[in-house]
């Protein structure tokens, strides 16, 4: 049997991996990355792509959410017909389809509600699949104890953040809260974001929103995300604003603010 060939050069600073999840000290073959690393990267990229392109499992999510909020959730669709249209036409993802406008307009409802809860696939269906139930399990009891009236809840396919404005205004809600899949990173294929907007109307710009990002197992914990959200809701009703006028003084923000840019 021939002698085992040398196929890579290890980095002696391997121990630094303890300090970061970044892909450091991965060694090299010549100037290139070793096969194992190459395939690991490819796998993570594949997972991220799958998160973008896997359709929302509306049936399971609907039943999960309904059991947690104790009432019906209404399935609506943005004006984007397909995933590729959604990706290339963000304007369509910010508007409801005509059929969905009709559906929400015809719902029996009060003349005013405090909060509209909206769940949307955004750029990662897996963010919803994996995080919405555990988050709502913590959130709903706390939200109920605040004594706020809840508008009919909606589940949105092919939705972007601003679609919450249109939905909340049709539903006569003072505050919209949208739970949406964030743009996946290699390490975060299933990160959930929450955007809160007081007095949402069509054409609302981003500085009027507050965002909580990176909610996932291994990211911002559900309990922490929830307490931050409840704080923002409280402050928002107190000051009747949202966005940069509503400074987050709790200071438990972590995670990438730049995720917010892609909506």
Among 35, 36, 72, 91, binds other proteins (CB under 8 A): 91
- The reply to whether 120 sits near other proteins by the rule CB under 8 A is no
Among 68, 90, 148, 224, binds other proteins (CB under 8 A): 90
Based on CB atoms, which residue is closest to other proteins, 152 or 219?
219
How far, in Å, CA of 244 to CA of 113, rounded?
A: 24
21, two tokens: 């999840």
How far, in Å, CA of 215 to CA of 224, rounded?
A: 9
Based on CB atoms, which residue is closest to other proteins, 22 or 107?
22
- The reply to whether 188 sits near other proteins by the rule CB under 8 A is yes
- The reply to whether 186 sits near other proteins by the rule CB under 8 A is yes
Q: How far is CA 125 from CA 128, 166, 240, in A?
A: 5, 21, 32
CB of 6 to other proteins, least distance (A): 13
- The reply to whether 74 sits near other proteins by the rule CB under 8 A is no
- The reply to whether 24 sits near other proteins by the rule CB under 8 A is yes
- The reply to whether 39 sits near other proteins by the rule CB under 8 A is no
Strand order in the sheet with 192-198: 73-77, 153-157, 113-120, 173-181, 192-198, 209-215
Based on CB atoms, which residue is closest to other proteins, 21 or 71?
21
- x/- letters, 205..244, toward other proteins (CB under 8 A): ---------x------------------------------
How far, in Å, CA of 158 to CA of 244, rounded?
A: 27
Q: Give the footprint of other proteins on this chain (CB under 8 A).
A: 9-13, 16-17, 19-26, 28, 30-33, 37, 41-42, 44-45, 48-49, 51-52, 87-91, 123, 183-189, 214, 253-259, 261-262
């Amino acid at each position: 049997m021939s002698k085992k060939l040398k196929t890579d050069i290890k980095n002696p600073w391997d121990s630094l991996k303890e300090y970061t999840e970044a892909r450091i000290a991965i060694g090299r073959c010549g100037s290139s990355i070793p096969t194992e690393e190459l395939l690991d990267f490819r796998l993570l990229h594949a997972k991220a792509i799958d998160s973008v392109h896997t359709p929302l499992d509306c049936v399971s999510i609907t039943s999960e959410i309904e059991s947690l909020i104790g009432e019906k959730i209404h399935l609506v669709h943005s004006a984007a017909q397909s995933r590729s249209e959604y990706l290339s036409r963000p304007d369509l993802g910010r508007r409801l389809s005509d059929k969905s406008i009709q559906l929400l307009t015809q719902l029996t409802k009060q003349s005013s509600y405090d909060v509209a809860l909206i769940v949307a696939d955004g750029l990662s269906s897996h963010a919803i699949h994996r995080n919405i139930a555990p988050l709502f399990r913590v959130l709903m009891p706390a939200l109920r104890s605040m004594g706020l009236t809840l508008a009919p809840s909606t589940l949105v396919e092919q939705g972007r953040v601003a679609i919450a404005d249109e939905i909340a205004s049709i539903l006569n809600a003072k505050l919209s809260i949208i739970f949406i899949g964030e743009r996946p990173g290699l390490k975060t294929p299933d990160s959930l974001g929450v955007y809160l907007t007081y007095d949402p109307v069509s054409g609302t710009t981003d500085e009027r929103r507050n965002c909580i990002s990176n909610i996932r197992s291994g990211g911002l914990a559900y309990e922490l995300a929830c307490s931050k959200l409840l704080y923002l809701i409280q402050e928002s009703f107190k000051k009747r604003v949202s966005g940069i006028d509503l400074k987050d003084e709790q200071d438990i923000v972590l995670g990438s603010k730049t995720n917010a840019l892609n909506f």
